[in-house]
Amino acid sequence: MLARGNLIFLKKQTDKTDPSATFSPTEIRLHTTMKKPSYPKIGIRPTIDGRLGGVRESLEERTMQQAKSVAALFASELRYPDGSPVECVIADTCIGGVKEAADCAEKFKLSNVAVSLTVTPCWCYGSETMDMDPHTPKAVWGFNGTERPGAVYLAAVLAGHTQKGLPAFGIYGKDVQSSSDTEIPADVREKLLSFAQCGLAVGLMRGKSYLSMGGTSMGIAGSVVDSKLWEKWFGMRVECIDLSEFAGRMRKGQYDQEEYKKALAWVKKNCPEGKDYNSPTTTRTREQLDTEWEDSVKTALIARDLMVGNPVLKKMGLGEQSHGHNAIAAGFQGQRQWTDHFPNGDFLEAILNSTFDWNGRRAPYVVATENDALNGAGMLLGYLLTNTAQIFADLRTYWSLEAIETASGKKVSHPLVGDGILHLINSGPAALDGTGEQTDAKGKPTMKPFWDVTDAEVEKCLKATTWHPSITEYFPGGGWSTRYRTRGGMPATMIRLNLVDGLGPALQVAEGYTIDLPDDVHDALDQRTNPTWPTTWFAPILTGKGPFVSAYEVMNHWGANHCVMTCGHVGHKYLTLASMLRIPVYMHNIAEDRVFRPSAWRTFGTADLEGADFRACNNYGPLYGKV
C-alpha cells in the first residue's frame, strides 16, 4: 500500500480542476513527513548480434528503438497504485555478450527492477545475453521479420531458459513485419502489457507484509494464516497482532484526533442508516448505536495505521506505533472474540476496501473479512492486477431457475443465465465500489481505479449503500452492516485461492457477469438470508466442459465458503500471474487462446494444459524457494 501522505499529495497536485484541491492541516502534516514510495521498475534489455565489423553497427539504432518503443507503451498504459506512470529502466547499451549482460544486471539491481523484458529484432547469442536472475519474471520479444532472425533468437534463448530452469514468456507477433516497421502489433502489444502488469504485481508484493489482526475466526481454515505460503510464493512476511491492540488504542486515544472528528462528521453526512431488523428484545438504544458509530470509525483509523503507519502518531509521542507493519494486505478476525464484546469490523472493512473515504479518493487498503488470509491473498492479486477495489464475499447459494420461481412466484429469463445464478453475499461488509454505481465510457457499471472515479460516482456509491444495525444475535458487541445490491451487466471474475496439503496453493477462476433481478424477485430471495448484507447476483460463463457445464457445478466445485470478485474479465491475467508465482490453476473458463504462460509450460504437455500447469508448478516450486 502506498504512503498515505504521498497519495493525497499526488491527487491534489494533479487534479487542478478539483475545487477541493487544497490541503488541510492533517494532509500537510502527512505530505511533509512521509516519503514517496519506491515502486519496482520494469527493466528492458535490448539484445543484439555482438559481431562488430558491420553486423552490430547496422543493428544498434533499430534494437535500441525497439526497447524505447516498449518503454513508451508501458509508461502510457500502466500505472502504479498511486496513479503515476510505470517507470522503465533500459540497459545503457545493447547487450551483445556476457559482459554487457552483467552490466545490465548490475544497473537493474541498483534501479529496483523487478520485471525483465528482453527485446530484439535480430539473432543474438542466447546463453550469453539472457537474464539469469531467478526471482525476476522475464519475457522475450523476438521481432517477427525476415531480414534478421529475431524469432530465431527467441526460440534459441527460450530453449536456454527452459534448460536452465529459468522460465520465460515468449512473445512473437503473428504477422511478419518489415525490419523498418516500428509499430507494435496488437497481439504483441496485448502480451507485452499482460506480462508487464502481472510482473509488476509480483514486484509490488515482494518485501511487504500480510497483517493478521487477530487469529482464527470461527474455525475458518483460511484464517489459520500460513506463513510459508506468504514467504515462499509471494515473497512477503506475516505480521500478527492481538485484537487487544485495538482495545488499547481506542481506550488511550492513540489515533489522529483531528482526523477522527473529520471522519465521524463525514460518516454522519454520507452513511445513511437503514432499517433495524433486530427484534424488539434485541434492538439497541440510540445512545448505543451512536457509540457504535464512534467506535467503528476509530477501528477503521486504527486498522489503517496498523497497516501502513501514520506520522501523526509520532508527533503524539507514539514513535513505535507510527511505523505500522508495512502491510500491503491485512485481515480482521472479528468473530467471535472481538464481536462478542465490541462493535464488529464491518465498517472498517467496507470503507478501507473502497476507493474513497473522508480524505477523498484514494487507493484501496486490502482487508479480508474474518481474517481469511487466503481470500486476502486473492484480493491482493486482483487489486494489483487492476488497481481497483475487490469484493470479498461468501459464495452463499446456488439458485436454480426452478428454485427462484418457487421462492418468488415468478419465472426469470435472462440471456446471460443458464441453469441458475450464484448469490455472493458477505456477512456484513464489502467495498462500496461494488455497488456498480461507477460507469465506463458506454454507461455500463464498472469499478475503476481511484484516479478515474469521479466525485459524482463517489456520491452515487454512498447513496446506494445503507448501513444497518448488526443483528445482535450474531454480533452481541454491536456494529454496522453494509447493504447494497450490485448493478447487473458488469463483467466480473470470481476467484479463490485454496491451500492443499501436499500440494500448496491452487487457484480457481470463473469469469461471468453480475445480474439484475426484478425488485420483487430479489427481495424474495434476499430476505431468506440476512437482508442487512451486500448482495451480488453472479452468472458464470458456461463452456459445457468440466465444472462449467452449469452454475450448479461451479458452486459444487468451489473450494471454500469465500470468494473474491474482481471487476472485468481478467481471468487470463490471473492465470499469467499464477504461473509467475508457480501456483497451479485447477478450474477456469478462460479460452485457450487467452492463456499466456511461460514457454517452458509446453514441455510438460500440450494435450492436457491443466495437468501441464500442475506439473510445471511442481517442477519449479514456489518462486522464492522450494518448500
Beta bridge partner(s), residue 538: 422, 514
Strand partners, 470: none
Rounded Cα–Cα distance for residues 300 and 488 (Å): 30
Place of cell 510438460: 604
210 touches 230 (CB < 8 A): yes
Within 10 Å of residue 322's Cβ, how many Cβ atoms? Answer: 17
> Cα separation of 541 and 512, whole Å?
5
What ranges in 333-425 are assigned the alpha helix state H?
Answer: 346-353, 373-386, 401-408
Rounded distance between C-alpha atoms, residue 354 and residue 433, angstroms = 6
Residues with a catalytic annotation lie at 370, 394
d(CA 255, CA 461): 27
The x, y and z cell numbers of residue 171, run together, are 512473445
Helices (H), 143-209: 150-164, 186-205
Please tell me the number of Cα atoms within 13 Å of 208 on its side-chain side.
26
Longest dimension (CA), the chain: 92
Neighbours of 418 (CB within 10 A): 17
What amino acid is encoded at 168 in this protein? Answer: A
Distances (CA, A) of 368 to 372, 422, 495, 505, 565: 6, 21, 14, 18, 13
Helices 227-234 and 373-386 meet at what angle, rounded to 10?
20
Q: For the beta carbon of residue 59, count every other beta carbon within 10 angstroms.
A: 24
Compute the distance between CA of residue 208 and CA of residue 206 in angstroms, rounded to an integer. Answer: 6
Task: Pull the grid cell for residue 22.
Answer: 487544497
Sign of CA dihedral 117, 121, 126, 128: negative
> What pairs with residue 89 in β-bridges?
43
What's the DSSP call for residue 450? G
The Cα–Cα gap between 244 and 425 comes to 29
Cis peptide before 336 (omega within 30 of 0): yes
Please choose, from the candidates 311, 305, 301, the residue with its C-alpha nearest in 3D space to the C-alpha of residue 325.
305
